[in-house]
A and B are shown apart, each in its own frame.
Chain A
C-alpha cells in the first residue's frame, strides 16, 4: 500500500502571495487533516476533511482553506502569505472512523519559506 505523499517538498514564496500544497492520502483512507509545524514546536492542527467537506478546524484564520477531492486527495491553500506562515506543513490521513483507535499516518511534509 502507498503511504501519504505530499508535494512539493520545498517551496519559497514572498509575503502577500498565495500557495497551494497537495496531499495524496494513504490507500483506503478517507479522512485527511493538515498540520502546521513551526521550527522547534509540535505540529498544530489546521483542519480536517471528510467526504469533501471541512469537518473540524483549529485556531487558524480563514485565509487557510482546503479542498478534498472524490479520490480523497486534498489541497491546502494559504492566501496573503505572512512571514509567520513559514513552517513545515504536514498532511495526515486515516481510515474510516469508528471508535477513535484508527491510526493516523503523516506525510513527510512541505517546507514553506515566506520571504
Chain B
C-alpha cells in the first residue's frame, strides 16, 4: 500500500490561500489521490480526489505533479472554519481500505 508523507502542522491567515503538500512517491499507476479533512471528533469529510490531472471543485483544487509522486491541496481563500486535520490518502485499487497517516493540522488564524 502506497504511503503518504505530510507536514504535521501548518498555519494560514484567514482569506489567504492554504497550500497543503503531500508526498506519495510509491503510488501506482491506477491509484487515486484522495483528500479528506476532519474537524474535531467528527467523521472525515471528503474534499477532492484525482488520478493525474489537476482537479477543482467548490471546496478546493488538487495539483498533482506530472510524475504523480506528490500533490498539493489548495484552499483558495481559507476561513476559520477550515481549521482541521487534513489527510492525503492514496487509495489502493477498488477497495475502501483507506490508509490514513497522521495528517496535517491546519490552523487558520484571523
Contacts and interface: CB of A to CB of B under 8 A. Distances in A.
Interface of A: 4, 31, 33, 35, 41-45, 48, 55-56, 58, 88, 90, 92, 94, 97-109, 111
Interface string B21-64: 00000000011101010000111111001010000000000000
A105 B100 contact: no
Contacts of A105: 46
Given A43-B44, A48-B96, 13 more contacts: A33-B97, A44-B100, A45-B98, A56-B96, A56-B97, A90-B43, A99-B94, A100-B93, A104-B34, A105-B46, A106-B36, A106-B43, A108-B43
12 contacts: A33-B97, A42-B101, A42-B102, A42-B103, A43-B100, A45-B98, A56-B96, A92-B96, A99-B30, A104-B98, A106-B45, A111-B41
Contacts of A31: 96
For the complex, would chain B's binding face be called helix, strand, loop or mixed by DSSP majority? loop
Contact of B51 (A56, A58, A101, A109): A101
A98 B100 contact: no
B45 A100 contact: no
Nearest to A33: B96
Interface residues of B, number: 26
Interface of B: 30-32, 34, 36, 41-46, 49, 51, 87, 91, 93-103
Contacts of B98: 35, 43, 45, 104
Nearest to A34: B96
Contacts of A55: 95
B49 A103 contact: yes
A41 B96 CA distance: 19
Nearest to B91: A100
Contacts of A41: 102
A43 B44 CA distance: 9
A48 B95 contact: yes
Given A44-B100, A99-B94, A109 B30 contact: no
A107 B42 CA distance: 8
Contacts of A45: 96-99
